[in-house]
Amino acid sequence: MPTALGPLDMTPPVMLAPMAGITDLPFRTLVSRFGAGMVVSEMVASHDMLNARPGSREKAELGLGAAGTAVQLAGREAAPMAEAAKMVAGQGAQVIDINMGCPAKKVTQGYSGSALMRDPDHALTLIEAVVRAVDVPVTLKTRLGWDDGMLNAPEIAARAEAAGIRQIVIHGRTRCQFYKGRADWAAIRAVKKAVRIPVIANGDITDGATAAEALQMSGADGVMIGRGAQGRPWILAEVAHALYGTPAPDIPKGADFADMVMGHYTDMLSFYGEVLGLRVARKHLGWFMDTAGTSGAVRRGVLTTKSPDATLKLLPEALRANAGQVAA
């Protein structure tokens, strides 16, 4: 089902989930090259956005104005959320997403993220303030509830729709589950029945088969992929091909795979600077080597060297030697 948010056409509705410390601007750019209905920035706290220095990396990270990009905001107070939304909309954000799903303790202890599900009345004050503050579409990402005794996503979704929310993404777990067990796609169906706006299923969607099952069980209008994209930036395009018959992505193999990874690595160093970039890139290189099946001394070398030049010399050996497993 094609979906649109204002001028943003999310066809096909296969989207990249926001993941703190992972879906940064270089990774979102790489995913977008293969194809995605929409990509979402890493969560940014409204207070941090308002207090960031002009031209700081925190603002550059959002990819304001980038094609097919939503900016995700988190917060616990209506006024700062509204001001931050107004700021990013004024700087080119096409869609603003409100985070009510992050389960991390450092977020929920500040009464942000999924902690807002414990107080729907307060959560609605934030939603209403953001919707009133901007002209661009506002979306919501949340979970099934706080715990098994508070599965209030359908109620919150209905109230959010009435407040002007244009799309809702539901991760098929409660906050207290974090990422344990399996996502309950069938439970998302209650949210779909409660609203008329598009509902997107999220959680444990890793390929075409799981995406199709998630849609069938939830009745959702599309899917959002998070951890399944780690080391496989083409997976959204591959799922879109399986679900909607879009062109199959050209999955890089051999030297092309190594070249893609090295290009991403240099993009990260350029974006973050060498010192921070070396640290941030390590997890991505590990996921790429997981995809390629790389092990042993060459893997250890890639993950432990502190020299960009040495890393770039090791990567062709680490990735080309195992190219037959790249598309597995």
Tell me the C-alpha to C-alpha distance, in Å, between residue 225 and each of 40, 239, 305.
Answer: 11, 9, 31
The b/e string for 172-205 (b: 16+ C-beta within 10 A; e otherwise) is bbbbebeeeeebbbebbbbbbebbebbbbbbbbb
Looking at 223, 244, 265, the residue that finishes a domain is 244
Among 221, 244, 267, residue at a domain's last position: 244
Indicate if the pLDDT at residue 47 is higher than 90. no
Nearest in space to 157 (alpha carbons), one of 101, 102, 213:
101
On whether both 62 and 191 belong to a single domain, the answer is yes
Tell whether 80 and 224 lie within a shared domain: yes
Q: What span, in angstroms and rounded, lies between the C-alpha atoms of 289 and 283?
A: 10
Same domain, 152 and 299: no
- For the chain, the domain total comes to 2
Question: Which 3 state secondary structure label does DSSP give 142?
Answer: strand
Q: What is the C-alpha separation between 36 and 209, in angstroms, rounded?
A: 18
Distance CA 318, CA 78 (A): 49
Domain identity same for 76 and 212: yes
Q: Which class for 206: exposed (0-12), middle (13-18), buried (19 or more C-beta within 10 A)? A: middle
Residue 156 neighbours by CB under 8 Å, 6+ apart: 100, 117, 120, 123, 142
HSE toward the beta carbon, residue 48, CA cutoff 13 A: 14
The arithmetic mean of pLDDT across residues 214-220, rounded, is 98
DSSP type of residue 74: E
Same domain, 280 and 190: no
In order, the DSSP letters of 101-128 are: ----HHHHTTT-GGGGGG-HHHHHHHHH
Asked whether residue 265 is domain-assigned, the answer is yes
Structural tokens at position 14: 């296969």
Distance separating alpha carbons of residues 218 and 205, to the nearest angstrom? 13
Which residues face 143 on adjacent strands? 171
Gap between the Cα atoms of 35 and 32, Å rounded: 5
The CA-atom distances, in angstroms, between 280 and each of 9, 234, 260, 266, 274 are 31, 20, 17, 12, 10
Q: Are residues 224 and 83 in the same domain?
A: yes
Angle at 284 between CA 93 and CA 214, to 5 degrees: 65
Assigned domain for 239 exists: yes
**Element spanning 28, H or E:** helix 25-34
Residue 95 confidence (pLDDT) above 50: yes
pTM: 0.91
What residue numbers bound the domain in which 30 lies?
3-244
pLDDT at 189 over 60: yes
CATH number at residue 21: 3.20.20.70
For 36-114, where are the alpha helices, taking DSSP H only? 46-51, 57-60, 78-90, 105-108
Q: What is the mean pLDDT of residues 220-248?
A: 96
240 and 261 within one domain: no
Instruction: Clarify whether 102 is annotated catalytic.
Output: yes
pLDDT tens track for 252-301: 998 999 999 999 999 999 999 999 999 999 999 999 999 999 989 999 99
Identify the three-state secondary structure at position 291.
Answer: helix
What is the reported pLDDT for 321?
56
Q: From the candidates 15, 81, 84, 102, which is the catalytic residue?
A: 102
Q: What is the pLDDT of residues 63-89, one digit of tens each?
A: 666 667 888 999 999 999 999 999 988
Given this model, what pLDDT does residue 107 score?
78
- Asked if residue 219 is part of any domain, the answer here is yes
Which residues are 140's β-sheet partners? 98, 168
Q: Do 217 and 99 share a domain, yes or no?
A: yes
Does 249 fall in a domain?
Answer: no
Write down which residue in 244, 275, 293 finishes a domain: 244
Q: Specify the pLDDT at position 108.
A: 72
Q: Is residue 72 part of a domain?
A: yes
Q: In the predicted model, what is the mean pLDDT of residues 134-144?
A: 95
